[in-house]
């Protein structure tokens, strides 16, 4: 037998001869002394939703030689990797083989 709170409609659990709402604290007497209450929890395993996004390369490109394959085109970006008073680090990613390397100023 499951009882629900008349105030907030959440489940009421037995505690010390009374039924107590776990959310609002409302209490009421047990209807029958010999009634057994059993609490079971059903856990549903949901599969996460996976969104597939086509990767679009929006980084700027430049003519620089890849140290791995020798290709002459790479994407580049700047990132602050040291103290704020130091210049940014320039990263390159080869458009052909995907090799990434950095250049310091």
Q: Which residues are catalytic?
A: 85-86
Question: How far apart, in whole angstroms, are the C-alpha atoms of residue 90 and residue 105?
Answer: 8
- Number of residues assigned to the chain: 105
Structure tokens, 102: 């950095």
**Residue 83, annotated ligand binder?**
no
**Residue 8, annotated ligand binder?**
yes
**Residue 66, annotated ligand binder?**
yes
The contacts of residue 51 (CB under 8 Å, 6+ apart) are: none
Question: Which residue, chain included where needed, has tokens 């209450």?
Answer: 37
Structure tokens, 51: 């969104």
Residues forming a β-bridge with 103: 90
* Annotated binding-site residue numbers for Zn(2+): 5, 8, 21, 24, 66, 69, 94, 97
* Annotated binding-site residue numbers: 5, 8, 21, 24, 66, 69, 94, 97
């Amino acid at each position: 037998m499951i009882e629900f709170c008349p105030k907030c409609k959440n489940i009421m659990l037995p505690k010390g001869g009374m039924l107590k709402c776990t959310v609002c604290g409302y209490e009421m007497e047990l209807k029958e002394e010999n009634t057994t209450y059993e609490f079971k929890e059903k856990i549903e395993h949901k599969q996460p939703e996976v969104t597939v996004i086509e990767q679009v390369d929006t980084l700027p490109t430049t003519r620089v030689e890849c140290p791995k394959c020798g290709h002459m085109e790479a994407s580049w970006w700047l990132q602050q990797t040291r103290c704020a008073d130091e210049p940014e680090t320039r990263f390159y990613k080869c458009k052909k083989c995907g090799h990434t390397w950095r250049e310091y100023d």
